[in-house]
Amino acid sequence: MDKNKNLDLLLVDDEPDFRRATSTALIRRGFTVSEAASGEEALERIARKRPDFVVLDLKMPGMGGIETLRRLRETDASLPVIILTGHGDVGSAMAGIRLSVADFLQKPVDIDQLAARIRALLRHGEDRPLRERSIREMMVSPAHYPRLYDDQPVTDALSVLRKAFYRPAREGDLSGQVRSALVYDRQENFLGLVRFIDLLKLVLMPFLEDSPYTTYFTGMFLARCKVLGKRSLRELLTENITIEADAPLMQAVHLMVRHSLINLPVMEEGRLAGILRERDVVLEIACNAESL
């Protein structure tokens, strides 16, 4: 696309005041804007003259935004479309992703944000469909985590995690400040993760956790640390919460929130394939929420 050419934009919305104000603002920002008051009119205009970009309102009487997009995709699979959506239109948003939208913006829309988003998408050649990253793409290799066996003593886990946590991370190395260790049996079957929180629970005596009428005193913590002794990691393991590599990312988020997990083992064909980390999911949220 000629970067000196005004971008030809089709604005599709059933509200005349919104179309008028938005068109005027976009024209001032260098766009050539045509308008359509309905999905039917939009399809007719696109058939006569293909624009560079379509901004399509989700909620319209008659043919709504999703149906308009569905019919558009029958004849044009690559025309970039931004959907304007209201708060809470999750189902329609998912339908829009399946129908290859370039992005979503929530109404009332900021004109500068809309203009910048359109230019950024076209400038970087990102008129490809909006796509959710997979768990397989986001997980990190198990090799970044220390490995233990279930018959080893808890003191081994404490030693290994202390070293892993304080080990300086080299460029490309994710092992710095690791808070978990992988646990296997001697047949190399993955049994689960030992996390910092599991070690905290080990120090906490059962009656302290269960009773609402607990008295605490100085020295309890130190005494408990001294009696951990040679307890095996097998005693420390809890339910092994895992997810399959091809599962939807939202399922992973649900498991992490429900079980308060900082990382989630990812399985493939019965073997540990990777670790999905809380930090990477949060960074993905931030990336997708950014306007540019």
pLDDT score at 243 = 97
Beta strand 81-85 with 53-57: parallel, antiparallel or unpaired?
parallel
Distance of CA 202 to the CA centre of its chain: 32
pLDDT score at 292 = 44
pLDDT score at 170 = 55
103 pLDDT band, cuts 50/70/90, is confident
Q: Does domain 136-289 have CATH number 3.10.580.10?
A: yes
Q: Does domain 8-123 have CATH number 3.40.140.10?
A: no
Domain with CATH 3.40.50.2300 in the chain: 8-123
Average pLDDT of the residues in 193-210: 82
pLDDT score at 93 = 66
d(CA 136, CA 119): 31
Of all residues in the chain, the percent with pLDDT exceeding 70 is 84
d(CA 251, CA 258): 10
Statement: the pTM of the whole predicted model exceeds 0.85:
no
C-alpha to C-alpha distances, 246 to 134, 214, 241, nearest whole angstrom: 7, 46, 16
Amino acid 145 reads: Y
Average pLDDT of the residues in 238-255: 94
pLDDT score at 291 = 47
Q: State the DSSP H helix or E strand holding residue 84, giving kind and residue range, or none if neither.
A: strand 81-85
Closest by CA to 198, choosing from 171, 236, 228, 234, is 236
Average pLDDT of the residues in 65-89: 85
pLDDT score at 226 = 83
pLDDT score at 199 = 87
Domain with CATH 3.10.580.10 in the chain: 136-289
d(CA 180, CA 98): 37
What tens digit of pLDDT does each residue of 7-56 get? 899 999 999 999 999 999 999 999 999 999 999 999 999 999 999 999 99
pLDDT score at 164 = 81
Average pLDDT of the residues in 237-255: 94
Mean pLDDT score of the chain: 85
pLDDT score at 36 = 96
d(CA 42, CA 49): 11
pLDDT score at 86 = 72
Distance of CA 64 to the CA centre of its chain: 28
Average pLDDT of the residues in 162-176: 64
Token output for 9: 């934009």
290 pLDDT band, cuts 50/70/90, is low
